Amino acid sequence: MNALVSQITKDPAYNTVRPNDFGAMIAVDRYGQRSSAFDKIITATHDHFWDPLDPAYIDFSQPFDMENQPLLPFDLMVELQSAVADKLDEKQKIQLVNMNTHWSLSSILHGEQGALGLSASLCHILVDPGAQEYAANQAREEARHVTAFTRYIQARWGKPAPVGPILGNLLSELVLAEEVYKKLVGMQMLVEGLAMGAFAMLHSKTFDPLLKKTTQLVMTDEAFHHKFGKIWADRTMPKLSAEEHDKVEDWAFNCFQSLFFNLVSPDQKGWIYERLGLDPAWVQGAVLEAATDDLRRERMKDGTDIFRVLIKTLLNAGIITDRTRWFYEQYVDMVQLKAEGDYMVGDAIAEEGIEYLKGINKNRKSFGKAVA
C-alpha cells in the first residue's frame, strides 16, 4: 500500500493510505481486516439519533426576547469584569452578552463544519473498515450539528458571524493535515474536548431553553466522538518512542496555547465593540488588564471551563509529561484532575439526552419521522 511516510501508527486500526489511493480501498483482503475497536460506538448510534429538521426532537421556532434578556449571565463575560462595564447601560450589557454569544456559537458552527470536513477526510485514508465506518458515521453526525447550529443562529441572529483567524487557520490545518495523529489530537481530543466543555457550560448557564436543548442533543453525539480520540490514545501513546511522544506532545501543546491565548481574545471581536460605540483597542487594553492569570485560575476551578476540560483530556490521554506539565499546572491542580479519572464534564448531560431520544425514537413511524 502507498502508506504515508509521516504517520505515527502503532495500531493497525489507524493504518492509512494516501487519499488518492482508492485502489487500496477495493483490495479484496482489506474488507475482512476489520478492527472491533469501534463497534460499540457505531452500534450506539441508534440510541442517540435525532433530526434537527423535525420539531418532535427540537423546535427552533421557540421565541426569546433578545433585546431585554441575556442568553448567559453577565459574570461569564470578561468584558463585564473590566472597565468596559462602566461605559455600558443595562441594555447595552445585554447586547454585549448576546453578541458575544453570537460570536461564540458561530465559532462552534465553524468548528462543527471543520469536524465534518475532517471526518470525511479520514474516510479517504483509513484502511480499516471499522475505523472508516466510524469516520463516516461521525461525518453524518457532524453534518446534523452544522444544521442544528445554523438553525439556532438563524432563529436568534439571522446568520453566523465570520470565523476568527486563529480558529479558522487551526481548523484548516487540521482538515488538510496528512498526519492522522494531528487530526485526532487536534480535532477528536482538543476541539471536541473544547466543544464538550463549551456545551456543558452553555447547557448549565443559558437562560434560553432552546439553546439548552440544542447543546444537549449535540452532546449526545459529541461524547462518542471524544471516545474515538480516547481509543486512539489508549492504543497509541504507550507504544510511542521518546521522539514520537515529544512530537505528539509538542503538537498538542502548540494547539492548546493557540486556543488558550487567542480563542476568546478581544482582538477577535472588534465588530462587537464598534456596534456598542466602543474603541476596540481601548476594550482590548481594559480586558487584558482584567484578564489576569489569577482570574484564569479562578475560572478553571469550574468543571465546565473549556480549557480545564482540554487539559484533563490531554492529561488522561498520557500526552502531558514534565516537558509541558509546568505550563498547565500554572492554571489547574493537575493532581486533582488526575484523581477525577476518565469522567468528562458533560457525560451526565449526554446520558440524560440519550434517554430523551430513546423515548422519542421508540415511537418513530416507519417512514422515519418521529411522533410528537
pLDDT tens digit string along 185-231?
A: 888 888 888 888 889 999 999 999 999 999 999 999 988 887 788 88
Does residue 201 form part of some domain?
A: yes
Does residue 370 form part of some domain?
A: no
Closest CA to 187 of 200, 201, 198, 177: 177
- 317-344 average pLDDT score: 87
Give the pLDDT confidence score for residue 115 in this predicted structure. Answer: 93
Does residue 7 form part of some domain?
A: no
Give the pLDDT confidence score for residue 94 in this predicted structure. Answer: 98
CATH number for 266: 1.10.620.20
15-65 per-position pLDDT tens digit: 899 999 999 999 999 999 999 999 999 998 888 899 999 999 999 999 999
pLDDT band with cut points at 50, 70 and 90 for residue 164: confident
Distance between CA atoms of 171 and 186, rounded to whole angstroms?
A: 9
Q: Give the dihedral of Cα atoms 214, 48, 308, 104; nearest 10 deg.
A: -30
pLDDT band with cut points at 50, 70 and 90 for residue 1: very low
- 88-95 average pLDDT score: 97
Give the pLDDT confidence score for residue 93 in this predicted structure. Answer: 97
Res. 302: pLDDT tops 70? yes
Number of folded domains in the chain?
Answer: 1
Res. 371: pLDDT tops 80? no
For 206, list phi and psi in degrees, rounded to 5: -70, 150
Res. 368: pLDDT tops 70? no
Cβ-based burial of 22 (10 A; exposed 0-12, middle 13-18, buried ≥19) = exposed
Res. 366: pLDDT tops 70? no
CA-to-CA separations, 334 to 20, 39, 54, in angstroms, rounded: 43, 33, 43
Does residue 294 form part of some domain?
A: yes
Stronger pLDDT, 351 or 214, i.e. the higher one = 214
3-state DSSP assignment of residue 231: helix
56-90 per-position pLDDT tens digit: 999 999 999 999 999 999 999 989 999 999 999 99
Distance between CA atoms of 314 and 316, rounded to whole angstroms?
A: 6
- 170-193 average pLDDT score: 87
Give the pLDDT confidence score for residue 6 in this predicted structure. Answer: 62
Beta bridge partners of 126: 16
Longest dimension (CA), the chain: 69
223-263 per-position pLDDT tens digit: 888 778 888 888 899 999 999 999 999 999 998 888 887 67
Q: Which domain holds residue 305?
A: 12-361
Are 126 and 135 spatial neighbours (Cβ–Cβ below 8 Å)? yes
Angle ∠(163,169,170) on CA atoms, nearest 5: 105
Give the pLDDT confidence score for residue 307 in this predicted structure. Answer: 85
Which ranges constitute the DSSP H helices of the chain?
Answer: 22-25, 39-43, 90-125, 129-156, 165-176, 180-183, 192-205, 209-236, 242-262, 270-275, 280-290, 293-299, 306-316, 322-328, 334-339, 347-361
Res. 358: pLDDT tops 80? yes
126-158 per-position pLDDT tens digit: 999 999 999 999 999 999 999 999 999 999 999
Does residue 229 form part of some domain?
A: yes
Closest CA to 180 of 239, 111, 131: 131
Residue for grid cell 458533560: 346
Give the pLDDT confidence score for residue 192 in this predicted structure. Answer: 82
Give the pLDDT confidence score for residue 365 in this predicted structure. Answer: 54
Are 113 and 19 spatial neighbours (Cβ–Cβ below 8 Å)? no
Does residue 2 form part of some domain?
A: no
Give the pLDDT confidence score for residue 225 in this predicted structure. Answer: 82
Give the pLDDT confidence score for residue 5 in this predicted structure. Answer: 47
Res. 361: pLDDT tops 80? yes
Does residue 183 form part of some domain?
A: yes
Does residue 55 form part of some domain?
A: yes
Give the pLDDT confidence score for residue 87 in this predicted structure. Answer: 96
- 94-106 average pLDDT score: 96
